[in-house]
Structure 1
Amino acid sequence: MKNDYGHLRLSNLVFRGKHGHYPQERELGNRFEVDIDLKVDLTDAIKTDRLEESVDLEEVYEVVRRTIEGEPKNLIETLAADISSELVSLGRVQSVTVRVRKLNPPLPGLVQGVMEAEITHGP
């Protein structure tokens, strides 16, 4: 029997955290925006129409929130890797791509962009 794989996504999740290399980043904090793309086996969820057979996106949201609002990290790459490692351990997740953006990074001059790290965990 063929499995039905699909993607579940959460986009543009924004949280405050105190991550960064510089002391002022850890003291003042910053806003971080996160995108999650989960490749999931949806076979049972499609058949039964039951959340228990899928991935609970509220649980995914909480993993991201706890990580961003939690222990300070020097690098956004580490944040993305921590989130992806925890999410890939959820049942039915085949792979996960996590993008973490630091809004208003401490760069000289007027910065209207962001710093971004992307990590893919799994096949």
Structure 2
Amino acid sequence: MTDRPGPPAPDRIAVRGLRARGHHGVFDFERREGQEFVVDVLLEVDTRPAARSDDVADTVHYGVLSDRLAAVVGGEPVNLIETLAERLAQVCLAEEGVMAAEVTVHKPNAPIPHPFDDVTVTIHRSRA
């Protein structure tokens, strides 16, 4: 029995550390005052068409995607960063050619009464 290689691993495009102000949280003061959220996305794509054509139209335009993600963070408030992460993943999957997306939402100023570095939620969603 021989081992057959599986399909090649997908290519990846990442946007890390995207900062935007939002009014998400379960407390009134979070909704009222807002705070900075940080978003990381890792997209599974096939970059070969773009590599062949050297045309941004054949890939995910990460500048445009970043605008869309920032608009979601700055948009309608939600209670949980889990909900925010889900909305951001749906924006990523709406991009043509994105097979899957990993989204991490950081809430570095979460209302925790103890010293901490960060609070994150990471989700992985795919078209399948």
Q: What TM-score do the two structures reach when normalised by structure 1?
A: 0.91
Q: Deviations over 1:41-98 (max 9, x none)?
A: 1121111111011110012101210011111000001111001012112111010000
Say whether 1:24 aligns with 2:29.
yes
Q: Which has the larger radius of gyration?
A: 2
Name the SS of the counterpart of 1:103 in structure 2: coil
Structure 1 unaligned residues grouped into runs of 5+ = none
CA contact (8 A) 1:9 1:35 kept: yes
Percent identity, aligned pairs only, is 29
Deviation of residue 4 (structure 1)?
8.2
Residues 60-71 of structure 1 mapped to structure 2, 5 A cutoff: 60-71=65-76
| Unmatched runs of 5 consecutive residues or more in structure 2 | 1-6
Separation in 1 of the partners of 2:22 and 2:98? 26
What residue number does 2:119 align with? 115
Post-superposition offset of 1:5: 3.4
Q: May I ask how many residue pairs the two structures share in their alignment? A: 121
Corresponding letter in the other structure for 1:56: H
Matches of 1:102 and 1:18, distance apart in 2: 11
Contact 1:104 1:112 in 2 (8 A): no
Runs of 4+ aligned residues of structure 1 deviating over 2 Å after TM superposition are: 2-5
Is 2:38–2:107's contact at 8 Å kept on the other side of the alignment? Answer: yes
Deviation at 1:3, TM superposition (A): 7.7
Q: CA RMSD in A?
A: 1.6
Q: Rate the CA distance shift 1:118–1:4 in 2: closer, same or farther, 3 A.
A: closer
CA distance in 2, matches of 1:90, 1:105: 30
- Which has the larger share of strand? 1
Contact between 2:17 and 2:38, CA under 8 Å: does it hold in 1? yes
Counterpart Cα distance in 2 of 1:71 and 1:85: 15
